[in-house]
Amino acid sequence: MGGDHGPHVTVPSAVEYLRHDRDTNIILVGRPEILTKELNALNISPDSRLRLYPASEIVGMDEHPAIALRNKKDSSMRVALNLVKNGEAQACISAGNTGALLATSRFVLKTIPGIDRPALAVVLPTISGHTYVLDLGANVNCTAEHLFQFGVMGATLVSSVENKPNPSIGLLNIGEEDIKGNDVVKQAAGLFRSSGLNFYGNIEGDDIYRGTTNVVVCDGFVGNVALKTSEGLAQMLASYLREEFRRSLFSKLAGLVALPVINAFRRRVDHRQYNGASLLGLRGTVIKSHGSADSFAFRCAIKRAVDEIRGGTLRRIVEHIETLRYNIEQNITQPASVE
């Protein structure tokens, strides 16, 4: 029911997704009358592939997470997470209030043994492909152990959904040298180095879009600022480019001629294709869609959930963390790499 546009976007998006993926079923959770109305508008009836599941409450986009958690026990978000917990669904996808989704999913699903805090991972484009960055804002006061756990989860995510053995992990810092950075990052580098993971070392902000590593690890404060700063810069550059193409009659004509090229460029940087942040570290698969997602963007978030289920991401994170814990207990310094 969540997101800036609610079921008016998510319901048609789910219907459209099912048309292209015959092996997936979707449960729409929310107020039945609202969901039915959206389905009626599409001339669709619920069936075994597209079920309705009632939830009477809606968490507002600005509602305080703790209050939503305490007071809204029949919210669509909470009910959907309960379906995952009870094994009736394999993943929960929400475009709703991020803080409430984090708090509620942690409360309902609990974290995987060995993971202190769940983290939000997103895919970002790079010059030659894409990279996975975490955490994007779930945790603002991180220890070195948290950053290390993010690295393990991120690497397992990449190896499971991209079928890429032993992905490289970069630690976001302000210089490549070991002496650079704050105390937490320096300690985290030590943990990575003795882990047996494919640790590239420290990377800098420009390495994200350069695609230097498959996984970029940072605390949620830094990751959130990096992501939002990128959004702001992209908007500014787009605004500048638009202004220049509108400056004179000549530039308008040049803009008309260049339109197919500009459009190809825009399709390539279309952030909607990267929609869907994976909430990793929980005993269930949860995907957070951007609140402003349109139908196409929300489908990308659904696809991300399906990819994680098919790749066995959750099971593999549990196994990987177990191996690491076993090795630490047994004092084995080189645990198995991520395969």
Tell how strand 169-172 and strand 199-203 pair up.
parallel
Tell how strand 215-217 and strand 169-172 pair up.
parallel
> By C-beta, is 244 or 319 nearer to a second copy?
244
> By C-beta, is 69 or 338 nearer to a second copy?
69
Strand arrangement of the beta sheet that strand 215-217 belongs to? 91-94, 285-288, 277-280, 119-125, 130-134, 215-217, 169-172, 199-203
State phi, psi for 100 to the nearest 5 degrees: -65, -40
Question: What residues contact 204, with CB distance under 8 A and at least 6 apart?
Answer: 172, 173, 174, 175, 176
Give the position of tokens 């032993």. 166
Distance CA 243, CA 232 (A): 16
> By C-beta, is 33 or 250 nearer to a second copy?
250
Please state the closest distance from residue 243 (CB atom) to a second copy, in A. Answer: 9
> By C-beta, is 80 or 215 nearer to a second copy?
215
Please state the closest distance from residue 309 (CB atom) to a second copy, in A. Answer: 29
> By C-beta, is 40 or 229 nearer to a second copy?
229
Please state the closest distance from residue 231 (CB atom) to a second copy, in A. Answer: 5
* Closest by Cα among 130, 136, 125, 131 to 101: 136
Distance CA 127, CA 123 (A): 13
Please state the closest distance from residue 210 (CB atom) to a second copy, in A. Answer: 6
Q: Can you give the binding site for a second copy, defined by CB under 8 A? A: 64, 125-127, 137, 140-141, 172, 174, 179, 181-183, 185, 204-210, 218, 220-222, 224-237, 239-241, 244-245, 247, 250-251, 253-255, 257-258, 260-262, 264-265, 268-269
Please state the closest distance from residue 130 (CB atom) to a second copy, in A. Answer: 11
